Amino acid sequence: MEYGRFDDEAKEYVITTPRTPAKWINYVGTLDFGGFVDSTGGGTLCKGDPSLNRIVKYIAQTPAGDFKGQTLYARFRPIAESGAPDRREAWRVFSPFYVPTLDQWESWECRVGLGYTRFVTRFYGLDFDIRIFVPRGESREIRDIRARNSTGRKLELDLVPVVEYTHFDALKQLTNADWVPQTMQSRALGDERGRIVLAQCAYMKRGTSENFLASSAPASSFETDRKRFLGANEYGTWSRPQSLDAEELGSHEACRGDNIGALMHRMGVLEAGASVRLVTQLGQARTTEDALADIERWRDFGQVDGAFADLARFWDEYLSVMRVETPIPSFDSMVNVHNPRQCFVTKNWSRYLSLYQLGLGADRGIGFRDSSQDAMGVVAHMGSEARELLEKLLSVQRRDGSAMHQFNPVTMVATEGDSAEYPDRPHYYSDDHLWIALAVCAYVRETGDAAFLSKKIPYYEKDAKGKPRESAAVLEHMARAVSFTRGDVGQHGLPRLGFADWNDTVNLRSGAESVFTACLYGAALLELAALAEATGDPKAASRWRAWHAEMKARVNDCAWDGEWWIRYFDADGTPIGSRSAERARVWINSQTWSVISGFAEGARARKCMDSVYRYLNTERGLKLFWPCYDGYDPAKGGVTTYPPGAKENGGIFLHANPWAIVAECLIGNSDRAWRYYQQINPAARNDSLDSFEVEPYVYPQNVLGDEHPQFGLGRNSWLSGTASWAYQAATQRILGVRADYAGLVVDPRVPGAWKGFTVVRRFRGATYRVRVLDPRGAGKGVAKASIDGRALEIEDGSATVPVMPAGTAHEVEIELQ
Ligand code: GLC
């Protein structure tokens, strides 16, 4: 069944029923101030940190129809013969979002836009058009509400925006039901025009701030105490708050308890066909008094319209870096709009706040491995923001070259992740630090900013005064990363696993080795060698190539199993991922990454990728391994806590899929690369979402595998490394347009049936319109290339378009063989 459609013109996905099979969301603002809005108007917000500065209480685990943090109530009643409001008539109370009143809608659309969500709905003949967004750079969420009386009769209309606050400490809110309510207080500030600002505060150890709810219109009453709002000692419900039956709210200033903000706006008598507009703002300031002048500014509709236009401009600019036109609409929707948008979101939020990553614990935050990869997804679109993120990551790298697993973006305190809970296992992750080398090189290839390599950045270790003990150039950080791995090998000479590698859940006893980490190390060395060559350091290049050759030989000596590569050796030297085992015989990551790292060549490369296809492919994507584990095994760790087919236990963990696309492109297998792309493309699944359940406009992290009874069910949408890698695979490998030190490489691997495609790409300030013609349907192998009519050299079937002056525009013509 369909639950909506892509509107590429408006760059929106239009959800056409509130009853989606799972809650679907959209992001507004950024981690500086923002959060998500769900498909029925609920949502949460935070400023800087979802765990320690959360504003709205949103309990994701309650049923979909329950109130979730924010809503708007509307109520109306007919006008009596005399023309005066008919006080004998009861109010008809409903929410134009559907939740939490669950009234039958006449029409309903939730338009998931870029940085905003727009609801266009009709209930009881009343039309609503509501836009929710965070103006760029602002600490406030705007809800711009328009209501129109389409009933054909005069009526009286009231609007009541409501928010439920959480304690700033989002986890405390759920674990301490005495201290928290004792500390929460609200007060109301009125002005001479009858407008009210509700201020909500709790003292934070890190300095107090206040949340405020205000609107553009006068409010005749308000409520800040949930118990009074719902009524009947809280036996009133969110679907039918008793206080909304009375003419006015109780106007209580809560001095403890569950704090809410509710403003009563009597919009007055609405003639048939007449409209009203109300703008609410929910924000945070040091004190609400400080914020009053700003609040006043945002009551102005012109200000709000200007901010909305500014948001659209930001996104036009962001997306204009790469525009594609191919024969496949579901590919174009993803590559032109939704995939780069998801890359923006993952870069911003890492794995910090979603419906699945609840962002509660103060020990969570930005993941080293995740953010390194996320940065790769946005380098072309926002190079300087990517660099800032890379600098933060480098500053939590240790002096020995390994990295802390995650950090809190506000305090910059880093932690070791889940490994700290297992005292008997190593505490570092063997792959984390290696990703940064890939990310830094991607940044320099894209921007040409080689000066960044000599920028000094501190390592994580601090002295007693909190001063970093040592700083080094970015290049040295990367050198230490690979040196750490080179010096940390086990009995086969392969990198030791640490607590885990990319797969967080395979936690083997100390002394185990990881073939994947060996390959990632190899890939990092290839990157460093290419970088050294491009920056004129042949000595370094040959060192990195020698290290690469050394590990390549070891992997080829000990990890080839006949048809595929082994994935791990445990502490006893027993292989995991071998035909000799009963379970977990074939794993995807050691196949894909042995190709990406150049360790697998020729027949082995083809054979291992054929094994991926034979043993791991399903019509819903590639599984992590096969066959699944069946029951808890402390020797394997977390992976065995999942039932067969779920998540890391042989599920379709989407993040690993684009790596197979990259690997197939590298060995020239365009058709299989395309098949792998399209079978996980959520936009291509829009007409059959009943089993998939999650948003068709973003990649989820996991889909249940075919050993699970609910094969095909997606979960953990939005915050997944799939976004970055699907985007890289689609643009750099399938379309084959990628940044390199010397220019823009064009080297497609597309289905022959396409017969061509067009890419408009901005690269280092110049714009290139690349037209690829493929009259014979070869799908790959550049035969002819020119820029502005001048022929370009072809090397190994690919062309490199030279870097042209910033601000200029160029026509690039490519013909495949
Ligand atoms: C989660 C983690 C990521 C890890 C993956 C596989 O997505 O955020 O870091 O690589 O799981 O275990």
Amino acid making up residue 210:
E
Ligand 1: centre distance to CA 19 (Å) = 30
CB-based contacts of 345: which residues, under 8 Å, 6+ apart?
27, 718, 719, 723
Ligand 1: centre distance to CA 207 (Å) = 34
The residues lining ligand 1, judged by C-beta closer than 6 Å to any ligand atom, are: 351, 367, 369-370, 502-505, 648, 701
Best mutation site among 364, 370, 376, 567 for ligand 1 pocket (most ligand atoms within 8 Å of CB): 370
**Spatial separation of the C-alpha atoms in residues 690 and 533, rounded to whole Å:** 51
Q: Quick one: pLDDT band at residue 364, thresholds 50, 70, 90?
A: confident
- Which atom of ligand 1 lies closest to the CA of 504? 12
- Which atom of ligand 1 lies closest to the CA of 370? 9
Mean pLDDT for the stretch of residues 619-637 = 96
Quote the mean pLDDT of the chain.
96
Query: Looking at the DSSP assignment, which residues form a beta bridge with residue 297?
Result: none
pLDDT at 205: 67
pLDDT at 793: 96
Ligand 1 atom 10: residue of nearest CA? 502
Ligand 1: centre distance to CA 655 (Å) = 8
Q: Is 504 in the active site?
A: yes
Burial (CB < 10 A; 0-12, 13-18, 19+), residue 647, is: buried
**Strands annotated E in 337-403:** 366-367
pLDDT over 90 for what percent of the chain? 94
Ligand 1 atom 6: residue of nearest CA? 503
Q: Quick one: pLDDT band at residue 87, thresholds 50, 70, 90?
A: confident
CB-based contacts of 739: which residues, under 8 Å, 6+ apart?
379, 380, 442, 445, 446, 745, 763
Helix 474-486 and helix 515-534, axial crossing angle in degrees, nearest 10: 150
Q: Residue 673: is its pLDDT beyond 90?
A: yes
Query: Residue for token digits 């036996």?
Result: 235
- Hey, what are 645's tokens? 């087919």
Q: How far is CA 498 from CA 504, 516, 569, 634, in A?
A: 11, 12, 12, 16
CB-based contacts of 315: which residues, under 8 Å, 6+ apart?
11, 114, 115, 341
Best mutation site among 516, 639, 655 for ligand 1 pocket (most ligand atoms within 8 Å of CB): 655
pLDDT at 206: 63
pLDDT at 361: 81
Ligand 1: centre distance to CA 310 (Å) = 35
- Which atom of ligand 1 lies closest to the CA of 721? 7
- Hey, what are 680's tokens? 């996980």
Amino acid making up residue 358:
L
Ligand 1 atom 9: residue of nearest CA? 370
**Spatial separation of the C-alpha atoms in residues 131 and 404, rounded to whole Å:** 40
- CA end-to-end distance (rounded Å), the chain: 42
CB-based contacts of 323: which residues, under 8 Å, 6+ apart?
336, 759, 760
What is the helix (H) or strand (E) element at residue 160, kind and residue range? strand 155-164
Ligand 1: centre distance to CA 648 (Å) = 9
Starting at the edge strand found earlier in the chain, the sheet holding 809-816 runs 322-325, 756-763, 766-773, 809-816, 782-787, 790-791
- Which atom of ligand 1 lies closest to the CA of 502? 10
Ligand 1: centre distance to CA 503 (Å) = 6
> What DSSP state is assigned to residue 568?
E
**Spatial separation of the C-alpha atoms in residues 539 and 249, rounded to whole Å:** 76
- Give tens-digit pLDDT for 774-790: 999 999 999 999 999 99
- Give tens-digit pLDDT for 159-205: 999 999 999 999 999 999 999 999 999 999 999 999 999 999 977 76
Ligand 1: centre distance to CA 514 (Å) = 16
- Give tens-digit pLDDT for 463-484: 999 999 999 999 999 999 999 9
**Strands annotated E in 191-332:** 196-202, 209-215, 221-225, 259-270, 275-285, 322-325
- Which atom of ligand 1 lies closest to the CA of 500? 12
Asked if residue 259 lies in contact with residue 88, where contact means CB atoms within 8 angstroms, the answer is no
Nearest to 39 by CA among 9, 66, 69, 19: 19
Asked if residue 201 lies in contact with residue 289, where contact means CB atoms within 8 angstroms, the answer is no
Q: Residue 289: is its pLDDT beyond 80?
A: yes
Q: For 324, left (φ over 0), alpha (ψ -120 to 50), or beta?
A: beta
Mean pLDDT for the stretch of residues 237-247 = 97
Nearest to 546 by CA among 532, 558, 567: 532
Q: Quick one: pLDDT band at residue 84, thresholds 50, 70, 90?
A: confident
Ligand 1: centre distance to CA 370 (Å) = 7
Ligand 1: centre distance to CA 335 (Å) = 23
In this predicted structure, which of 171-175, 313-317, 418-422 has the lowest mean pLDDT? 418-422
Determine the 3-state secondary structure of 200 from DSSP: strand
Best mutation site among 504, 567, 624 for ligand 1 pocket (most ligand atoms within 8 Å of CB): 504
Q: Of these residues, 38, 144, 488, 504, which one is catalytic?
A: 504
Mark 601-614 as b/e (b = at least 16 C-beta within 10 Å): eeebbebbbebbbe
Q: Quick one: pLDDT band at residue 420, thresholds 50, 70, 90?
A: confident
Helix 474-486 and helix 383-394, axial crossing angle in degrees, nearest 10: 50
- Which atom of ligand 1 lies closest to the CA of 720? 7
pLDDT at 362: 73
- Which atom of ligand 1 lies closest to the CA of 701? 7
Ligand 1: centre distance to CA 632 (Å) = 20
Ligand 1: centre distance to CA 367 (Å) = 9
Radius of gyration of the chain (CA): 28
Query: Looking at the DSSP assignment, which residues form a beta bridge with residue 782?
Result: 816
- Which atom of ligand 1 lies closest to the CA of 505? 12
